Amino acid sequence: MLPISSHIPVLLNEVLDGLRCDKPGVFLDCTVGCGGHTAAILEQHAENRVIGIDCDAVVLDSTRQSLAKFGSRIALYHHRFEEFEDVMKEASPKPMAGLAGILVDLGVSSVQFDDAARGFSFQHTARLDMRMDTSQPFDDSLTAYMVVNTYSAEDLARIFYEYGEERHSRRIARMIVAARTQASIETTTDLADMIFQAIPRRFHPKTIHPATRVFQAIRIEVNQELRQLGDTLERAVHYVQPGGRICVIAFHSLEDRIVKRTFAKLAKGCQCPPNFPQCVCGKLPLVTVISRKPIMAAIEEQQHNPRSRSAKLRIAEKLA
């Protein structure tokens, strides 16, 4: 079994307060992972229930065992959260009054990251994989290997720039394409060494490995992490009861921007162009934004859990 306890849930108290889960209700945890947040939600009130989703079947199996003590108060589903409607159809008993709250804690868990064989980290030599969902065969899936060895230089550069905010995106992309004409790029450390070489020494970042941004970008592409986030949040709001909360934790600026804009859009309601004298779309505000600024981890949390350093929590409340 995986060392499930190695993942420390981020912003735990802030999430529990944000979701107001000291009052009984049914909560949807879209990224149940190792179950840290979910267990705490269930412990907050004896009548709380959680419907949990994760796309990683391996992690979910371990979590199922560690949360078994909560019996029928927890139901876990192997799905992408973008497909949460299918889960809601299946879940029983259904939350008739709507969900009391939704949590989305994005990114990879420490258990996934620290499992060398998954290929998320350049600290260990491993096959270039980076899939969160490994339920399909490697060769039939979009993997880091496929991205690195088959995408055009233009596509690689775009991904590195957009998803990794990597300034040397074109240079790294060119180097990868040149290298793979000799032999395919097989491992995480081969790729990391190549990026190390591609970025001139004087531009190497001081606090992170030069390959960090490119690895993040490839992970986002492999798992299609940003594709439907905003759209999914817009659909999910309709499942929340009035006064219920939506908490989203993002780990990089692109994700956080999507969350911020989506909440602002839902809080505004009307989508008519600004020059329209009156509203013709008839869309009403659906939420109020509780966190004008994102909530960040306190210094003490950042010190004992490095993963929390980049975490940004935003909270919205469903209107009546």
Q: Which spans of this chain sit near ligand SAH (rule: CB under 6 A)?
A: 7, 9, 31, 33-37, 53-56, 59, 80-82, 105, 107-109, 132
Peptide bond into 93 cis (omega under 30): yes
Total number of residues shown for the chain: 320
When the beta carbons of 53 and 250 are compared against ligand SAH, the nearer one is 53
Least separation, in Å, of the C-beta of 16 and ligand SAH? Answer: 12
When the beta carbons of 107 and 210 are compared against ligand SAH, the nearer one is 107
Least separation, in Å, of the C-beta of 29 and ligand SAH? Answer: 7
Least separation, in Å, of the C-beta of 272 and ligand SAH? Answer: 32
* φ and ψ of 4, to 5 deg: -65, -25
Contact 316, 266 (CB under 8 A): yes
Least separation, in Å, of the C-beta of 241 and ligand SAH? Answer: 22
- Hey, is 95 helix, strand or coil? coil
Residue 191 and residue 291: Cα distance in Å, rounded? 39
Contact 37, 44 (CB under 8 A): no
Q: The tokens of 35 are what?
A: 């179950």
Least separation, in Å, of the C-beta of 119 and ligand SAH? Answer: 14
Q: What does each C-alpha distance from 104 to 25, 81, 181, 249 come to in angstroms?
A: 17, 9, 41, 6
When the beta carbons of 49 and 80 are compared against ligand SAH, the nearer one is 80
Least separation, in Å, of the C-beta of 85 and ligand SAH? Answer: 13
When the beta carbons of 109 and 188 are compared against ligand SAH, the nearer one is 109
When the beta carbons of 56 and 166 are compared against ligand SAH, the nearer one is 56
Least separation, in Å, of the C-beta of 89 and ligand SAH? Answer: 17
Q: Which helix (H) or strand (E) holds 16?
A: helix 12-19
- Written in H, E and C, the secondary structure of 141-179 is CCCHHHHHHHCCHHHHHHHHHHHHCCCCHHHHHHHHHHH
Residue 104 and residue 117: Cα distance in Å, rounded? 26
When the beta carbons of 65 and 271 are compared against ligand SAH, the nearer one is 65
When the beta carbons of 283 and 309 are compared against ligand SAH, the nearer one is 309
Say how many Å lie between the first and final Cα of the chain, rounded: 44
